[in-house]
């Protein structure tokens, strides 16, 4: 619990209304997309970089840890408050400071919601490619903290690939700019890249120069239905082998097809083993040949059906099932745990088979959605939070999925981050030397372990 003098100082920095210390007021900021909760002692809502600096300096003097927070959509526990910490919520720092279309750059504050920048840019025929599933709620600060991905990553890359530079408040309380408004401005070490994805453990981002680009002239959306996930996986491999890098290669398995049919009647066959949503974009003159090739590949991989959307309404219909996929599983169980294991594309069929084994071994129900092009799977483990045995099975199955990913030469996190949920498995993926390297980075920035302590790596 904070003393009155500390609270008074925090209020003098942020303003009376922008400090919360009441239990009920803090509740909504104590959890994230996991089932876990933290116990913090206060929340502050800075509006300027200077306020962030003042808060960091004051908290350092007081020995108080700070946990940064955006919209709280995190699913790895990265934004969970640690005991006795103050949550720094960046929701008030939500200005789009500049959009420079001709030079492909926008300057934004961390509290800008991903969707909001997309809508703003769409007015000018531009966009920002990273599009995590949470984009209607998650903030760019959060996306930067996790180096978020999304369906378009296969062709365009993840968040780290679209960041030119950052204004950062370090644990020392000093403000630095790393990078610039282009890719050539790093001071030798690529500090931008080490900060992106660092989960708020080594610096707080207060401004970001993001790369924006013109919306592609045209896109084509296709739906391919398969008897088995293995056939769908083969189609994915063959599309890439044919020299085509689609914008999107989304896969859903039989369980998800059925829950989405129950939810919204998207019109997909309930007996299908898997479906692929495939999108290509670019010059309109190039797309017909690519669509034709993809159709041939799908046929060769035994697709039951292959459709090409011919109108915006048909595009929406194809995407409908994918958009409601996560929510639709509530018809089976009230809760789900979402994983983000990633494996090399060639091991995708093995990962699918391994998920089947986990279902049997742990007695859990799993529906799988995947960004199949980049081997990033989202096995949704369905459970009822009110039943302890189901929660226990969930945790055990999630750990097993991570072990499977490592055994298949993949990674335990493709886009959600480590936080606290996957921290225990990090040594298995990186070994003692790798873990020591992470500690070197943390120590170089935050030797007092003040920023988001207990996440990602311990000192």
Pairing of strands 86-89, 42-44: parallel
What's the token pair of residue 101?
A: 């279309």
Q: Does 146 bind other proteins (CB under 8 A)?
A: yes
Q: Does 338 bind other proteins (CB under 8 A)?
A: no
DSSP state string for 108-162: E-TT-BHHHHHHHHHTTTEE-----TTTTT-BHHHHHHHT---TTHHHH--GGGG
Among 57, 62, 137, 286, binds other proteins (CB under 8 A): 286
Cβ pair 113, 139 in contact under 8 A: yes
Pick the closer one to other proteins by CB: 109 or 429.
Answer: 429
Q: Does 296 bind other proteins (CB under 8 A)?
A: no
Among 7, 137, 176, 264, binds other proteins (CB under 8 A): 176
DSSP class of residue 363 equals: T
Closest approach of Cβ 70 to other proteins, in Å?
A: 16
Q: Which of residues 21-80 bind other proteins (CB under 8 A)?
A: none
Interacting stretch for other proteins, rule CB under 8 A, among 13-21, 235-243, 266-274, 362-370? Answer: 235-243
Closest approach of Cβ 324 to other proteins, in Å?
A: 23
Pick the closer one to other proteins by CB: 58 or 445.
Answer: 445
Picking from 143, 140, 147, the residue whose alpha carbon sits closest to that of residue 194 is 147
How many residues sit in the footprint of other proteins (CB under 8 A)? Answer: 90
Residue entry with tokens 């909504």: 28
Among 84, 157, 269, 295, binds other proteins (CB under 8 A): 157
Pick the closer one to other proteins by CB: 9 or 322.
Answer: 322
Q: How far apart are CA 397 and CA 99, in angstroms?
A: 45
Closest approach of Cβ 384 to other proteins, in Å?
A: 29
Q: Does 254 bind other proteins (CB under 8 A)?
A: no
Pick the closer one to other proteins by CB: 103 or 310.
Answer: 103
Q: Which of residues 90-129 bind other proteins (CB under 8 A)?
A: 100, 102-105
Q: Does 283 bind other proteins (CB under 8 A)?
A: yes
Q: Does 454 bind other proteins (CB under 8 A)?
A: no
Among 181, 263, 350, 359, binds other proteins (CB under 8 A): 181
DSSP state string for 247-305: SEEEEEEHHHHHHHHHHH-----TT-SEEEEEEEEE-HHHHHHHHHHHHHHHHHTT-SE
Picking from 352, 452, 448, the residue whose alpha carbon sits closest to that of residue 61 is 448
Q: How far apart are CA 446 and CA 171, in angstroms?
A: 6
Q: Does 230 bind other proteins (CB under 8 A)?
A: no
Q: How far apart are CA 203 and CA 166, in angstroms?
A: 10
Closest approach of Cβ 83 to other proteins, in Å?
A: 23
Among 116, 190, 314, 356, binds other proteins (CB under 8 A): 190
Among 429, 452, 453, 454, binds other proteins (CB under 8 A): 429
Cβ pair 232, 356 in contact under 8 A: no
Closest approach of Cβ 383 to other proteins, in Å?
A: 24
At 316 the three-state DSSP class reads helix
Closest approach of Cβ 39 to other proteins, in Å?
A: 26
Among 9, 152, 345, 455, binds other proteins (CB under 8 A): 345
Among 10, 99, 166, 178, binds other proteins (CB under 8 A): 178
Closest approach of Cβ 457 to other proteins, in Å?
A: 7
Pick the closer one to other proteins by CB: 17 or 189.
Answer: 189
Q: Which of residues 369-408 bind other proteins (CB under 8 A)?
A: 371, 374-376
- Sequence-distant (6+) residues with CB within 8 A of 105 are 98, 164, 181, 182, 209, 210, 211, 212
Q: How far apart are CA 367 and CA 261, in angstroms?
A: 14
- Sequence-distant (6+) residues with CB within 8 A of 449 are 65, 442, 459
DSSP class of residue 347 equals: G
């Amino acid at each position: 619990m904070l003393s009155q003098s500390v609270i008074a100082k925090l209020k003098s920095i942020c303003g009376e209304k922008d400090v919360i210390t009441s239990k009920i007021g803090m509740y909504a900021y104590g959890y994230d997309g996991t089932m876990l909760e933290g116990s913090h002692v206060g929340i502050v809502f800075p509006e300027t970089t200077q306020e962030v600096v003042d808060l960091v300096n004051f908290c350092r003097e007081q020995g108080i840890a700070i946990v940064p927070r955006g919209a709280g959509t995190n699913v790895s526990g990265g934004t969970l408050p640690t005991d006795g910490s103050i949550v720094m919520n960046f929701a008030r720092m939500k200005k789009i400071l500049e959009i420079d279309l001709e030079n492909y750059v926008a300057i934004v504050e961390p509290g800008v919601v991903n969707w909001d920048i997309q809508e703003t840019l769409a007015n000018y025929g531009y966009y920002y490619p990273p599009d995590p599933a949470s984009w209607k709620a998650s903030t760019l600060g959060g996306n930067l903290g996790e180096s978020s991905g999304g369906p378009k990553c296969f062709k365009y890359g993840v968040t780290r690939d679209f960041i030119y530079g950052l204004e950062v408040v370090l644990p020392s309380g000093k403000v630095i700019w790393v990078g610039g408004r282009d890719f050539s401005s790093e001071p030798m070490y690529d500090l931008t890249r080490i900060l992106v994805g660092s989960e708020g453990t080594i610096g707080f981002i207060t401004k970001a120069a993001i790369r924006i680009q013109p919306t592609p002239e045209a896109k084509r959306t296709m739906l391919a239905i398969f008897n088995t996930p293995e056939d769908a996986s083969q189609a994915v491999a063959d599309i890439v082998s044919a020299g085509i890098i689609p914008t999107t290669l989304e896969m859903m398995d039989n369980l998800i097809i059925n829950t989405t049919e129950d939810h919204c009647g998207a019109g997909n066959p309930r007996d299908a083993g898997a479906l692929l949503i495939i999108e290509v974009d670019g010059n309109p003159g190039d797309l017909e040949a690519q669509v034709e090739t993809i159709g041939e590949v799908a046929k060769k991989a035994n697709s039951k059906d292959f459709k090409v959307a011919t109108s915006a309404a048909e595009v929406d219909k194809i995407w409908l099932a994918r958009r409601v996929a996560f929510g639709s599983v509530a018809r089976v169980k009230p809760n789900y745990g979402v994983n983000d294991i990633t494996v090399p594309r060639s091991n995708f069929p093995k990962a699918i088979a391994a998920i089947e084994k986990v279902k049997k071994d742990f007695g859990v129900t799993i529906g799988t959605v995947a960004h199949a092009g980049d081997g990033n799977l989202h096995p949704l483990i369905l459970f009822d939070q009110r039943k302890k045995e189901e929660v226990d099975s969930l945790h055990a199955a999630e750990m097993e999925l991570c072990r499977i990913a490592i055994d298949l030469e993949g990674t335990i996190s493709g886009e959600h981050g480590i936080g606290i949920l996957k921290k225990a498995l990090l040594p298995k993926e990186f070994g003692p030397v790798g873990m020591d390297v992470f500690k070197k980075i943390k120590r170089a920035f935050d030797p007092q372990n003040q920023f988001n302590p207990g996440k990602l790596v311990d000192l």
